[in-house]
Structure 1
Amino acid sequence: MRALLPALTLCLAAAACEQNGPEIPNSAQAAAENAAVTANEAVNAAQAPRSILRPEVVTEPEEEKVEPVHAAIGFGTSGLKLDDAGRGALDALLDAPAMKAGGSITLRGHSDTRGSDGDNRVASRIRAEAVRDYLVKKGVAKDRITLVALGETRPIAPNAHEDGTDDPEGRAKNRRVEIDIALPPDDSPPPVVPTLPAEAKAQKE
């Protein structure tokens, strides 16, 4: 009987170990591991772009779509000079993606039918030159721009009423410059981006 006691004691100790399960890790070590995981998650969350309305949704930046532009600048009341409305419309065109992409620009000048055909063709060219000069003044390369003087040949409104009387509103609509901005060719070189010299860059940083 006494010989069986040590063996029985060993069995009971083994059973107790199995019931208690594996050794519990040190609490300080576990807390440090949890803190490291939490810090890594915070860094990853800060680096990922998030939606303002739904922070859990990651958003991708949208590429600016470049399309050709067709617009018209009126010279209805100003005659041969740009007015404030015309300058404002040109300022808006300067921000168009096609304008920034460097595509060619065609300016087609038009006139009404008052005066001779030759005089109207000259007037239409003067209007196109006024638009060109404004764009060049704003930094657009002159060699991108082509002028076409069409005179009175392509009206968009009647110059006279059906009874033959004058139509001032129709003539005003015909005094215009149409602007077409094309897309740059696929094989055109990318725009040159100025870079700072290494020394200047280091000073800036």
Structure 2
Amino acid sequence: MRTTKTLAPLALAPILALALAACQDRTDDAEDPQSASTSEADAAEEDEEEPAPVSILRPDIEPPELPDLPEVPLEPLDLTIGFPEGGMELDEEAKATLEQVLESEQVATGAPIVLRSHTDSEGSDTGNMRASEKRGELVKAWLVENGIAADRIRVIPFGEQNPVAPNALPDGSPNEAGRARNRRVEVAVVPVPEETVPDDPADASAEDAD
């Protein structure tokens, strides 16, 4: 029995030694903040040493200039001046439409203005041709009075030739609504595209000679 009691403390001695060693290691780690800060400093230095990204664009080279896009040509202007009541006077609606003509981009380009004048089918062919011409000249006079050069305006009378609505009903009676639509002057302004002018007229003459 005495031998067993003596061996027990001896067997526990290595276990106690290992426990004390582990405690000592934890104490050393806790008491050494310098090593932790040194690691953080090393990591920061590594980040600072990484080169910054370099742009592949050279500052001495300017980006190429994009070519100018061609201008979109203006669409032709087509408006109708009505004479629903007949006669040779412009009503307020007709004048408002003519104001639109004056303010249009097409007229501002200096393009020619064509007036196609029409009548209904009442009366003779000769009388209707004369009436349509007078209505066209009436519209032209209004435009000239409001600043349009007379040589830009052309009047083409059609008389009753080109109706936009039936002049008579199926039973042969007059179609008053249709006739009112047919008494009209059509205004057409077609912008002319700008022609390319050579820088040196002499060069152009030489090319024509070749």
* CA shift digits 1:74-129 (9 cap, x unpaired): 00114221111101110011111001110011000000000000000000011111
Are the equivalent residues in 1 in contact too, given 2:121–2:128 (CA < 8 A)?
yes
What CA distance in whole angstroms lies between the structure 1 residues aligned with 2:162 and 2:192?
A: 27
Distance 1:188 1:160, change over 3 A: farther
> Is 1:101 the equivalent of 2:105?
no
Are the equivalent residues in 1 in contact too, given 2:166–2:179 (CA < 8 A)?
yes
With the length of structure 1 as denominator, give the TM-score of the two structures. 0.59
Partner of 2:80 in structure 1?
72
What CA distance in whole angstroms lies between the structure 1 residues aligned with 2:131 and 2:101?
A: 23
Q: Share of identical aligned residues, percent?
A: 40
Partner of 2:136 in structure 1?
128
What is the correspondence of 1:1-205 to structure 2 with a 5 Å cutoff? 66-187=74-195
Which sections of structure 1, spanning at least 5 residues, go unmatched? 1-62, 190-205
What CA distance in whole angstroms lies between the structure 1 residues aligned with 2:118 and 2:196?
A: 31
Deviation at 1:66, TM superposition (A): 2.7
Taking only aligned residues, the RMSD between alpha carbons, in angstroms, comes to 1.9
With the length of structure 2 as denominator, give the TM-score of the two structures. 0.57
Deviation at 1:184, TM superposition (A): 2.6
Matched residue SS, 2:103: coil
- Kindly indicate which of the two structures has a greater share of residues assigned to helix: 2
Q: Between Structure 1 and Structure 2, how many residues are aligned?
A: 127
Runs of 4+ in 1 over 3 A off after TM superposition: none
Are the equivalent residues in 1 in contact too, given 2:115–2:136 (CA < 8 A)?
yes
Deviation at 1:188, TM superposition (A): 9.2
Are the equivalent residues in 2 in contact too, given 1:65–1:97 (CA < 8 A)?
no
What CA distance in whole angstroms lies between the structure 2 residues aligned with 1:107 and 1:146?
A: 6
Which sections of structure 2, spanning at least 5 residues, go unmatched? 1-70, 198-210
Deviation at 1:69, TM superposition (A): 0.5
Distance 1:181 1:166, change over 3 A: same
Are the equivalent residues in 2 in contact too, given 1:75–1:176 (CA < 8 A)?
yes
